[in-house]
A = this chain, B = another copy of it.
């Protein structure tokens, strides 16, 4: 039941439509909590029924109408209480790690390629994180308290990303050496 809280969290400062929320999830909170647009639309509806969000239609020029959602007082209270409840970590699930358990002379080339792709993707993501950090969190101590929490989450993303890059390099090195050994035969 925590997608609901992630969504409400995204609405703390600004009202958003499902579409905007889905994109915000891609860029910010979604780095720590991913959700497809279908999930988001369904959850928004449920939250509105519960009275934690209000909805209003907004006509737009040149675009279809949208439905803006905002936190109600009840929603804010529910969110505030939730912070004290037990956290759960849903460990990430990664096929690649399972594949590594199956490393063989046959598939080593493929796994090197896959790791290389991961490296590239993580690099892109780190550029994004760094850009966000520079633009919005250049001087974190000066920020209001809540934003410092967001900064810490971003910081975790950055550290984790850098560590992942380091691992990719280490793995690629090891695999390259092993493949050389194989080729030498």
Binding site for B on A (CB under 8 A): 2, 5-6, 9, 12, 29, 31-34, 79-80, 82-84, 87-108, 110-111, 114, 140-141, 145-146, 148-150, 152-153, 155-156, 159-160, 162-164, 166-167, 170-171, 174-175, 177-178
Q: How far is the CA of A110 from the CA of B45 in the complex (A)?
A: 31
Contact between chains at A152 and B174 (CB < 8 Å): yes
Pick the contact of A12 from B88, B101, B141, B174 — CB < 8 Å? B101
Q: How far is the CA of A55 from the CA of B177 in the complex (A)?
A: 39
Interface of A is mostly: helix
Pick the contact of A101 from B29, B94, B96, B102 — CB < 8 Å? B29
Contact between chains at B93 and A32 (CB < 8 Å): yes
Contact between chains at A31 and B91 (CB < 8 Å): yes
Contact between chains at A97 and B153 (CB < 8 Å): yes
